[in-house]
């Protein structure tokens, strides 16, 4: 009754809206449920109360419409699951992490690495299972995963160095392409790893060979002999070489990480390369400056020559914060030497006049350090500090007294005038620490100032009650020392001061007074201790050493929190000492398994009878005097070798002449075994021989010999795998096959096992557009363009066929054009034969194959040549029926999806035009479709 009509209308509207949303959530259509969920989220975002819809929403938690193909959905699901800090779901979380670690998407695998750390903090008992996942992820070749899995390694098992051995070189090579956060983590981990695997490069007899690549690829490790000069391990050099470019990174943390790596691992003469990068960071924010200056302060203690050329970069600015000024002052003091001390002292004189009292006090301490470290300027610094005693600022005067006191301890007899001058200024100094320092000097060197010390004690007796505790304690000490050295003038004063101290409110002063009285005044109770009073109180004391506060900070790894705090923080991992003898470096060698040739498209494996068939063919060829001595024992190897002999005679001759003696012995033993297993004619019905016709690889001559041998032996069980790549060749060979089948049917001992695998079809569309690979300016006259031919690659079924056009636009002939044998990204590449000579203004077209490993990662060559494949060019067109297509489609797991958009006008939409558009984007085959609006 108290609400206006508009409010009632609003309540009715909200109620009706909630009912509509409930009906949509209870609907059988997924689209309505999804729309309702979106509206509810919108209501909550606007601050509306949607609690009435809670039961209806909970019913739809278990939905069948989950967008699994989207990698972001899978990663977000894992991230949410791992963030639930409930121990009961640990097994579910472990299963999710293991499944995500094998996901096709590197983003999901990266999220799995992050989840490992969360699970380990929730349940450390899962460590062994998590280590298995980490070991698997460390082998991942994606740069997106590298940093995250190394971070998980550092959190879970940083002591398991054995997991890094096989991945060390890969991490070094991937380091440049990893994101900046991952680079920092990897660099710190590799720093600790290198300190355990390599010997120290800081020896005087060290030899540094930059071009030593032999041991890097050698399978036999080399141990360092202490009796021989040190030679840097190639893996050690690999780490230094691959991290050096990161000194130009825009990220300050990366630059700092590389700098600490060089500081802890690099030879001393190579440390200068990090200096400019660290000085560059001083232009950043004050937080960055603070960390960088701390590390420079530690470095400048041991290596002054690194930063001396950049001394002006450490001059204090008026806009600097106090902690920045103090650190710069620390570095300037560390860099001081006989050559530059005059310049530094002039700079320090300016700093003493600063309005920042804490900074001015730190400057006086710096002057004292310069006077201690450089004897040539000790007198100059002392005279300057004495002049500061007349300063109006109490802080400056107090700090000057403290520093002078420390300097006078080195040569007190030569500076008695300074002590007398300080005694005259005693009345004007009010800072307790300064007054206490002067009293200590008077008592310590009372014999050098016999007239001034008693006078100072007389003044202190008048003001003893009102002085600070630290001044009272030094007054008691002064009275005791004067009583022992000049008792005639100071005996009564000493007794008076001791009586005052006996009843002081501070118990420290009372205890000190009673101790001194029993020590210096002989009586019956003191015993023999009073005889040694002079030796106890007047004993010579060593001069204090003024040194940097960063003197011992190098015990912590630079760039870490422990180094910043100068205290070991939680989770800090110490750097180990260099090993005396380098561990076996062969543990870092990764064996690369090179396939002898591409497998058959159908991936069929011949049985024993097939091996027997090829053994018989080899014997027949040997009897006929054939020159082919290196026939393979497997059908796939023979087909590939024959293909290479026809396509590329040079490669074939090389491969045929490179067979080792051990392989020949194995082949001979295998042939003997097959001959021993040769059956009698009565068992012919139980035997089977497999005819594998791979038309892509086998030339007609081999097929004719094989079929003739089949007919002669009367053992028939034909296993047919059709892989036709050319329609004309396919028709001819199909006719040959029909003839052979007709002849085989004339025999009574035939058993048929026919299997037809998926057939590679023709590319519907072949793009003519070429892409620039190498510009003539970059290649110094040599230009290169490439295009995808969409033809089955003759070098391997898993390879993509490329056509390269090389042109010489210079006025001189180019010689020996080839691709380096090593690729930086690890793809399997079949290179074209080296072009011996390319005349001016001439062009040549060559073909090559690249196995992109079903990824769009560019294939990079060491000659700065890269090819970026489109997703559509990684496909192979396959022909099949619509029913087979539907059946194969149902087997897809939906773990990855690649999409492209085609645009067409309504009037031009037809089956042919749509197909033409699709095949122009991807190398796909067209499947007959019974529905007009669906294209497969």
pLDDT digits (tens, 9 = 90+) for 198-256: 998 887 655 555 444 444 444 444 444 445 677 889 999 999 999 999 999 999 999 99
Residue 336: both structure tokens together: 């001081």
Q: What pLDDT does residue 868 have? A: 64
- Asked whether the CA dihedral 86, 89, 90, 95 is positive or negative, the reply is negative
Residue 764: both structure tokens together: 């519907």
The C-alpha atoms of residue 918 and residue 936 are separated, in whole angstroms, by 10
Rounded alpha-carbon distances, angstroms, from residue 632 to 303, 392, 620, 708: 64, 99, 14, 19
- CA atoms within 13 Å, Cβ hemisphere of 816: 1
Residue 64: both structure tokens together: 């069948």
List, in sequence order, every residue forming a beta bridge with 866; answer none if it has no partner.
860
Q: Which residues of the chain have pLDDT under 50?
A: 1, 5-13, 210-226, 593-660, 662-667, 669-670, 672-698, 710-734, 738, 741, 743-757, 824, 863-865
**Cβ atoms of residues 748 and 870 within 8 Å:** no
The C-alpha atoms of residue 445 and residue 409 are separated, in whole angstroms, by 9
**CA angle, 917 then 922 then 928, to 5°:** 65
**Cβ atoms of residues 859 and 852 within 8 Å:** yes
**Cβ atoms of residues 445 and 484 within 8 Å:** no
Residue 465: both structure tokens together: 């009650």
Cβ neighbour number for residue 375 with a 10 Å cutoff: 10
Q: Which of 237, 248, 244 is nearest to 213 (CA)?
A: 237
Domains and CATH numbers, the chain: 16-201+231-240 (1.25.10.10), 445-538 (no CATH), 760-872 (2.60.40.1150), 882-892+904-922 (no CATH)
The C-alpha atoms of residue 259 and residue 254 are separated, in whole angstroms, by 9
- CA atoms within 13 Å, Cβ hemisphere of 707: 19
The C-alpha atoms of residue 460 and residue 704 are separated, in whole angstroms, by 123
Q: How many residues does the chain have?
A: 936
Q: What pLDDT does residue 686 have? A: 37
Q: What pLDDT does residue 16 have? A: 66
Burial class (CB in 10 A: 0-12, 13-18, 19+), 364: buried
Identify the DSSP state of 610. Answer: H
Segments in 870-910 forming alpha helices (H): 882-890
Q: What pLDDT does residue 297 have? A: 92
Q: Helices 635-647 and 608-623 sit at what angle, rounded to 10 degrees?
A: 50
pLDDT tens per residue across span 790-801: 888 878 878 888
Residue 376: both structure tokens together: 């040539």
Q: What pLDDT does residue 414 have? A: 67
**Cβ atoms of residues 222 and 215 within 8 Å:** yes
């Amino acid at each position: 009754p108290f609400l206006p009509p508009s409010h009632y209308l609003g309540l009715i509207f909200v109620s009706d809206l909630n009912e509509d949303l409930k009906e949509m959530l209870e609907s059988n259509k997924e689209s309505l449920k999804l729309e309702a969920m979106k509206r509810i989220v919108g209501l909550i975002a606007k601050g509306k109360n949607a609690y009435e819809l809670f039961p209806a929403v909970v019913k739809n938690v278990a939905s069948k419409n989950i967008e699994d193909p989207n990698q972001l959905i899978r990663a977000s699901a894992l991230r949410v699951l791992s963030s639930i800090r409930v121990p009961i779901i640990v097994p579910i979380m472990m299963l999710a992490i293991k499944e995500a670690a094998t996901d096709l998407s590197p983003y999901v695998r990266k999220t799995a690495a992050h989840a490992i750390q969360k699970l380990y903090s929730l349940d450390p008992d899962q460590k062994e299972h998590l280590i298995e996942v980490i070991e698997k992820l460390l082998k991942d070749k994606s740069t997106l995963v590298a940093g995250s899995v190394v971070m998980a390694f550092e959190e879970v098992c940083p002591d398991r160095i054995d997991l890094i051995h096989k991945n060390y070189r890969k991490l070094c090579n991937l380091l440049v392409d990893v994101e900046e956060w991952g680079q920092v983590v990897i660099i710190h981990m590799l720093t600790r790893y290198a300190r355990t695997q390599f010997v120290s490069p800081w020896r005087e007899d060290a030899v540094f060979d930059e071009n030593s690549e032999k041991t890097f690829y050698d399978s036999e490790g080399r141990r360092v002999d202490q009796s021989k000069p040190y030679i840097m391990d190639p893996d050690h050099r690999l780490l230094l070489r691959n991290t050096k470019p990161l000194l130009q990174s825009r990220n300050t943390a990366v630059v700092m990480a590389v700098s600490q790596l060089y500081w802890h691992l690099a030879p001393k003469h190579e440390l200068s390369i990090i200096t400019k990068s660290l000085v560059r960071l001083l232009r950043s924010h004050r937080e960055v400056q603070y960390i960088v200056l701390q590390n420079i302060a530690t470095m400048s203690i041991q290596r002054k020559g690194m930063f001396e050329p950049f001394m002006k970069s450490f001059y204090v600015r008026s806009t600097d914060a106090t902690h920045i000024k103090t650190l710069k002052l620390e570095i300037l003091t560390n860099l001081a030497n006989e050559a530059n001390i005059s310049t530094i002292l002039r700079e320090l004189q300016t700093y003493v006049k600063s309005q920042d009292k804490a900074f001015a006090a730190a400057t006086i301490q710096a002057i004292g350090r310069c006077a201690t470290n450089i004897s040539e300027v000790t007198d100059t610094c002392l005279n300057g500090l004495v002049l500061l005693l007349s300063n109006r600022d109490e802080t400056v005067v107090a700090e000057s007294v403290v520093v002078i006191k420390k300097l006078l301890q080195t040569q007190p007899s030569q500076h008695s005038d300074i002590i007398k001058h300080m005694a005259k200024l005693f009345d004007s100094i009010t800072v307790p620490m300064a007054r206490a320092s002067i009293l200590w000097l008077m008592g310590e060197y009372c014999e050098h100032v016999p007239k001034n010390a008693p006078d100072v004690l007389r003044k202190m007796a008048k003001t003893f009650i009102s002085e600070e505790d630290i001044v009272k304690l030094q007054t008691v000490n002064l009275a005791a020392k004067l009583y022992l050295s000049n008792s005639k003038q100071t005996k009564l004063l000493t007794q008076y001061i001791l009586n005052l101290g006996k009843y002081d409110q501070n118990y420290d002063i009372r205890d000190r007074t009673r101790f001194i009285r029993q020590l210096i005044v002989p009586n019956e109770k003191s015993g023999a201790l009073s005889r040694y009073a002079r030796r106890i109180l007047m004993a010579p004391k060593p001069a204090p050493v003024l040194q940097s506060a960063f003197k011992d900070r190098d015990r912590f790894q630079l760039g870490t929190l422990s180094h910043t705090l100068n205290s070991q923080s939680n989770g800090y991992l110490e750097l180990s000492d260099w090993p005396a003898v380098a561990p076996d470096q062969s543990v870092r060698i990764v064996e690369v398994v090179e396939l002898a040739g591409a497998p058959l498209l159908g991936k069929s494996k011949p049985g024993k009878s097939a091996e027997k068939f090829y053994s018989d063919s080899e014997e027949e060829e040997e009897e006929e005097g054939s020159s082919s001595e290196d026939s393979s024992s497997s059908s796939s190897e023979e087909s590939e070798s024959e293909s290479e002999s026809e396509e590329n005679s040079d490669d074939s001759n090389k491969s045929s002449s490179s067979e080792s003696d051990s392989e020949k012995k194995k082949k001979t033993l295998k042939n003997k075994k097959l001959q021993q297993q040769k059956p009698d004619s009565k068992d012919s019905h139980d035997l089977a021989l497999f005819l594998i016709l791979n038309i892509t690889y086998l030339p007609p001559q081999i097929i004719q010999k094989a079929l003739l041998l089949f007919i002669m032996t009367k053992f028939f069980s034909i296993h047919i795998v059709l892989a036709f790549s050319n329609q004309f060749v396919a028709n001819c060979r199909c006719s040959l096959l029909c003839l052979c089948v007709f002849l085989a049917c004339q025999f009574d001992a035939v058993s048929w096992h026919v299997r037809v695998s998926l057939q590679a079809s023709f590319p519907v569309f072949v793009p003519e557009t070429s892409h620039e690979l190498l510009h003539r300016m970059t290649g110094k006259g040599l230009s290169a363009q490439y295009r995808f031919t969409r033809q089955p690659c003759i070098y391997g079924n898993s390879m993509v066929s490329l056509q390269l056009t090389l042109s010489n636009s210079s006025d001189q002939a180019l010689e020996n054009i080839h691709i380096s044998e090593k690729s930086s990204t690890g793809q399997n590449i079949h290179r074209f034969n080296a072009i011996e000579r390319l005349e001016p203004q001439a062009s040549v077209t060559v073909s090559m194959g690249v196995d992109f490993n079903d990824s769009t990662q560019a294939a990079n060559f060491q000659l700065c040549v890269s090819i970026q494949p489109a997703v559509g060019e990684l496909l192979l067109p396959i022909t099949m029926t619509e029913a087979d297509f539907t059946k194969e489609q149902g087997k897809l797991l939906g773990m990855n999806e690649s999409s492209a958009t085609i645009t067409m006008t309504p009037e031009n939409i037809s089956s042919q035009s749509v197909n033409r558009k699709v095949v122009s984007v991807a190398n796909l085959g067209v499947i007959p479709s019974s529905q007009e609006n669906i294209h497969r």
